[in-house]
Chain A
């Protein structure tokens, strides 16, 4: 029985929560009516273009913008970084121009003259010694638990040593970063921004403008984002172009659209830090993990980028890790789904898989044997998920000891990995409005990244009111609505479902109070169910929702729901297990994913359909970074060699195999409340696929992506060529 008034209904009492429900904004998107930032048009709109630096490290000697300013049609030219500035990556923004159309803006950009003094750069970080010799390294953490030295010397342990790596990749959002800025009067700014942070953006833009001596109050800035073509962590902050568009609009006295060109999108709009590691790991002969030692490094650009959690999830009693940050001139890092976890997972699960192979153990059994080393909350979850995933992947039938010994040049292999993520409901405020005509509106400054936020909000309120989903009008995507957190870290569904649940429960309480006299019972004897307000235990005494709302007379109910708040609606900490089944052509080096299985926990699921979509999407994004994606930097030029979607490879619809998604639900999962799902399922694919390839060809391909050249090189070193 529910014990707290805001609690989610018990399993038997849920009409909508946990069911497969269509996303409510689907028709807008499928019909082309949905307006994204890129689609925003305003009267007199100017188009802005950025001139960026071609060098990885340079000092600006001089800038001459006059040839651009004199071009007819050019309305504003803004120097972003002036002579004397030191530039730390190719693609950094130097000058912005706004003109009456794109052609003129591009022409003006070409006319700007910038002289640079080139400085020494470093853009490739795999070779730690080289980076150290160039003075580009900084300690980024070290920790020792237990006595790893002693544990490695134990004659009864088996030790596996290896090198593993995962490169810098980019977010490559299909809708580029950018915004439209318009001053509706001298002091009031409106922006249409491709952002994961509608409520937070005005403060960021305001602070940025004030730093540039543009006087504006945050309260006079409104940010709108109704639809967004991907963010994946890279659109939480306004970045320079958010400020620049507003500056240009101020200078020109006209609205300005500044969307990044595709090359800039790939060079500067987002990068996931790399991680490389030399790892030693030891286990007793029965497979029990005994010790871990890792020396890892990576880059997130010239600034800090955190470090991968090592060892990941499973903590042997004796561990030592040390991480070094390499300052590389590659453009800044941004949060990329599950920051640091895919790196920690690939490094750890790869090393553990090699150890299992050395022990001649089945890796699923090996993980099962060691799940007690995971955080206590997750031990049972992992056991159940390993079992479920193995069953769905037909592990017992398909797995073989390392190296597919069957004849022919196509080798098949199976790999397994597990992962975790925190998630938690972010801070959220909403208004729930019930009008005398029965209409219901819920309003909050959240955003829907395509994850189904609108739909989740509608389900939360509709479930509470006993109404169909379509009876709830959801208004989000505008900073003038009650503030809601940024969509990052798998926190949105937990946050918005809880605030709207609380707001709706309070609104229903007010409605019950208004209706109770008509039904002749105290308000606490009423319930909302299937479109009725009825007396508990006496279905004959009821009013339809509309009849009930008409009792409000001229009064409109408006409540405010918040998260965090009372009662246990959301939680933190999920586990997931994935298994990859691959085929590798040992003549061409090509890897084909036959099947991926994901068993994923995320607490109480609000919409099973959009939750499953998240996992399918994460698996494919995982296939992308496992097999194709890499921000390829050229050490001589200091530039990215593949800043386009032809050579920055993403998986196409023909590059994925069968995907099997199993959400862990029911007792043991649901009562934890809502936990986010955006990050966790994208963590394991790299490790699962890499392990499957090692299982197929008998040798580890040390670094992602598992491109044909890397596979063939590994085979040359001792696989099953």
Chain B
């Protein structure tokens, strides 16, 4: 066991982790944050996406020990209590959620995209989300949701403008 200290959804945390333990395991098993999904465990599907210092990463490919000193945001850290983040709300409004298993990863990747680029083109949206697979599959409505979230964020003065 090794103790790792990092910021999780805004709060300082520490946990004892096994050698070789991945961040997705730590988040789900030690912190009970099961909104971060396990899909392929090989970095292919994007279901386990979290924000690592604001950048989307695949938490199945990140060793828990490498979180030391960094900031991690999971889907649970995005909403403010019952109040959903504009990206989450846009996904609901556009019907971009189906079985929901890919949704947390999609939402977090979108959040990172809009933080960096508040007015993405459709090509930029598709490129940013190219690592998140949906099997249901809701891509069409997901693209619309990202556009809607971008519009809402700009109207709100969010997104770095």
Q: Which single member of A22, A35, A449, A654 contacts B34 (CB below 8 Å)?
A: A35
B44 within 8 A of A: yes
**Per-position contact with A for B43-66: 1 when CB-CB < 8 Å, else 0?**
011010000000000000000000
B3 to chain A, nearest CB (A): 18
B125 to chain A, nearest CB (A): 8
Q: Which single member of B84, B97, B103, B137 contacts A620 (CB below 8 Å)?
A: B137
Cα–Cα distance between A646 and B44 once the two chains are bound (Å): 6
Residues of chain B within 8 A of A41, CB atoms compared:
29, 32, 34
List which A345-401 residues lie within 8 A (CB) of chain B. Answer: none
B36 within 8 A of A: yes
Q: Which single member of B37, B95, B127 contacts A229 (CB below 8 Å)?
A: B37
Is the Cβ of A30 less than 8 Å from the Cβ of B92?
yes
**Per-position contact with B for A1-34: 1 when CB-CB < 8 Å, else 0?**
0000000000000000000101101111111111
Q: Which single member of B33, B100, B129 contacts A653 (CB below 8 Å)?
A: B129
Given A32-B35, A39-B34, A645-B40, does the pair A651, B137 have CB atoms closer than 8 Å?
yes
Q: Which single member of A262, A624, A653 contacts B126 (CB below 8 Å)?
A: A653
Q: Which single member of A36, A38, A174, A610 contacts B135 (CB below 8 Å)?
A: A174
Q: Which residue of A lies closest to B45 (CB)?
A: A645
Is the Cβ of B107 less than 8 Å from the Cβ of A30?
yes
B133 within 8 A of A: yes
A545 within 8 A of B: no
Is the Cβ of A32 less than 8 Å from the Cβ of B36?
yes
A659 within 8 A of B: yes
Q: Which single member of A229, A232, A620 contacts B140 (CB below 8 Å)?
A: A620
Cα–Cα distance between A229 and B136 once the two chains are bound (Å): 9
Is the Cβ of B95 less than 8 Å from the Cβ of A624?
no
**Per-position contact with B for A654-679: 1 when CB-CB < 8 Å, else 0?**
10100100000000000000000000
Given A31-B84, A650-B135, does the pair A644, B37 have CB atoms closer than 8 Å?
no
Is the Cβ of B133 less than 8 Å from the Cβ of A650?
yes
Is the Cβ of B39 less than 8 Å from the Cβ of A175?
yes
A541 within 8 A of B: no
B99 within 8 A of A: yes
A617 within 8 A of B: yes
B32 to chain A, nearest CB (A): 7
* Interface Cβ pair total, 8 Å cutoff: 166
B28 within 8 A of A: yes
**Per-position contact with B for A615-629: 1 when CB-CB < 8 Å, else 0?**
011001100100000
A50 within 8 A of B: no
A418 to chain B, nearest CB (A): 22
List which A65-116 residues lie within 8 A (CB) of chain B. Answer: 101-103
In the complex, which range does the number of interface residues on chain A fall in? 35 or more
A472 to chain B, nearest CB (A): 18
A652 within 8 A of B: yes
Residues of chain B within 8 A of A34, CB atoms compared:
100
B139 to chain A, nearest CB (A): 5
B70 to chain A, nearest CB (A): 20
Is the Cβ of A26 less than 8 Å from the Cβ of B36?
no
Q: Which residue of A lies closest to B28 (CB)?
A: A39
Cα–Cα distance between A624 and B33 once the two chains are bound (Å): 31
B135 to chain A, nearest CB (A): 5
List which B10-50 residues lie within 8 A (CB) of chain A. Answer: 18, 20, 25, 28-29, 32-42, 44-45, 47
**Per-position contact with A for B104-148: 1 when CB-CB < 8 Å, else 0?**
100100000000000000000111011111111111111100000
Is the Cβ of B42 less than 8 Å from the Cβ of A30?
no
Q: Which residue of B lies closest to A25 (CB)?
A: B100
Q: Which residue of A lies closest to B20 (CB)?
A: A103
Residues of chain A within 8 A of B40, CB atoms compared:
262, 644-645
Is the Cβ of A654 less than 8 Å from the Cβ of B101?
no
List which B74-100 residues lie within 8 A (CB) of chain A. Answer: 74-76, 78-79, 84, 88-89, 91-93, 95, 97-100
Q: Which residue of B lies closest to A104 (CB)?
A: B18
Given A26-B97, A35-B34, A175-B37, does the pair A653, B42 have CB atoms closer than 8 Å?
no
Q: Of residues A23, A30, A172, A451, which shows the largest number of chain B Cβ atoms within 10 Å of its Cβ? A: A30
A30 to chain B, nearest CB (A): 4
Is the Cβ of B137 less than 8 Å from the Cβ of A29?
no
Is the Cβ of B35 less than 8 Å from the Cβ of A36?
no
Is the Cβ of A32 less than 8 Å from the Cβ of B76?
yes
Residues of chain B within 8 A of A259, CB atoms compared:
38
Residues of chain A within 8 A of B36, CB atoms compared:
32
Q: Which single member of A23, A175, A656 contacts B97 (CB below 8 Å)?
A: A23
Q: Which single member of B38, B91, B99, B137 contacts A624 (CB below 8 Å)?
A: B137
Residues of chain A within 8 A of B127, CB atoms compared:
654
Residues of chain B within 8 A of A261, CB atoms compared:
41
List which A35-65 residues lie within 8 A (CB) of chain B. Answer: 35-36, 38-39, 41
Is the Cβ of B75 less than 8 Å from the Cβ of A174?
no
Residues of chain B within 8 A of A33, CB atoms compared:
35, 76
Q: Which single member of A174, A228, A232, A656 contacts B133 (CB below 8 Å)?
A: A174
Q: How many residues of B contact A (CB 8 A)?
A: 58
Residues of chain A within 8 A of B100, CB atoms compared:
25-26, 28-30, 34, 227, 229, 450
Is the Cβ of A613 less than 8 Å from the Cβ of B95?
yes
Is the Cβ of B92 less than 8 Å from the Cβ of A26?
yes
Residues of chain A within 8 A of B139, CB atoms compared:
616, 620, 651, 653, 656
Q: Of residues A172, A173, A652, which shows the largest number of chain B Cβ atoms within 10 Å of its Cβ? A: A652
Q: Which residue of A lies closest to B145 (CB)?
A: A30
Q: Which single member of B28, B125, B133, B138 contacts A616 (CB below 8 Å)?
A: B138
Residues of chain A within 8 A of B91, CB atoms compared:
26, 30
Is the Cβ of A32 less than 8 Å from the Cβ of B75?
yes
Q: Which residue of B lies closest to A175 (CB)?
A: B101
B72 within 8 A of A: no
B102 within 8 A of A: yes
Is the Cβ of B95 less than 8 Å from the Cβ of A32?
no
A208 within 8 A of B: no
Is the Cβ of A653 less than 8 Å from the Cβ of B37?
no
Q: Which single member of A29, A449, A612, A617 contacts B103 (CB below 8 Å)?
A: A29
Is the Cβ of B93 less than 8 Å from the Cβ of A22?
yes
Cα–Cα distance between A650 and B39 once the two chains are bound (Å): 14
Residues of chain A within 8 A of B138, CB atoms compared:
613, 616-617
B36 to chain A, nearest CB (A): 7
Q: Which single member of A32, A262, A612 contacts B74 (CB below 8 Å)?
A: A32
Residues of chain A within 8 A of B142, CB atoms compared:
653
A609 within 8 A of B: yes
Cα–Cα distance between A621 and B42 once the two chains are bound (Å): 22
**Per-position contact with B for A238-272: 1 when CB-CB < 8 Å, else 0?**
00000000000000000000010110000000000
Q: Which residue of A lies closest to B137 (CB)?
A: A620
Residues of chain B within 8 A of A705, CB atoms compared:
none
Cα–Cα distance between A175 and B100 once the two chains are bound (Å): 10
Residues of chain B within 8 A of A659, CB atoms compared:
140
Cα–Cα distance between A98 and B33 once the two chains are bound (Å): 23
Is the Cβ of A29 less than 8 Å from the Cβ of B97?
yes
Is the Cβ of B97 less than 8 Å from the Cβ of A30?
yes
Is the Cβ of B101 less than 8 Å from the Cβ of A174?
yes
Cα–Cα distance between A35 and B25 once the two chains are bound (Å): 16
Is the Cβ of A617 less than 8 Å from the Cβ of B75?
no
Is the Cβ of B79 less than 8 Å from the Cβ of A22?
no
Q: Which single member of B89, B99, B126, B143 contacts A450 (CB below 8 Å)?
A: B99
A230 within 8 A of B: yes
Q: Which residue of B lies closest to A645 (CB)?
A: B44
Q: 13 A-B Cβ contacts within 8 A? A: A23-B92, A23-B95, A32-B75, A36-B37, A36-B101, A174-B101, A174-B135, A229-B100, A230-B136, A450-B99, A646-B44, A654-B127, A659-B140
Closest CB pairs A-B (n = 6): A32-B35, A450-B99, A29-B100, A229-B101, A32-B75, A39-B34
Spell out B's residues near A (CB within 8 Å).
18, 20, 25, 28-29, 32-42, 44-45, 47, 74-76, 78-79, 84, 88-89, 91-93, 95, 97-104, 107, 125-127, 129-143
Known contacts A41-B32, A262-B39, then 13 further A-B pairs from the complex at CB < 8 Å, ordered by chain A residue: A30-B103, A32-B36, A38-B37, A39-B28, A41-B29, A174-B39, A174-B102, A616-B138, A645-B40, A645-B133, A652-B129, A654-B126, A654-B127
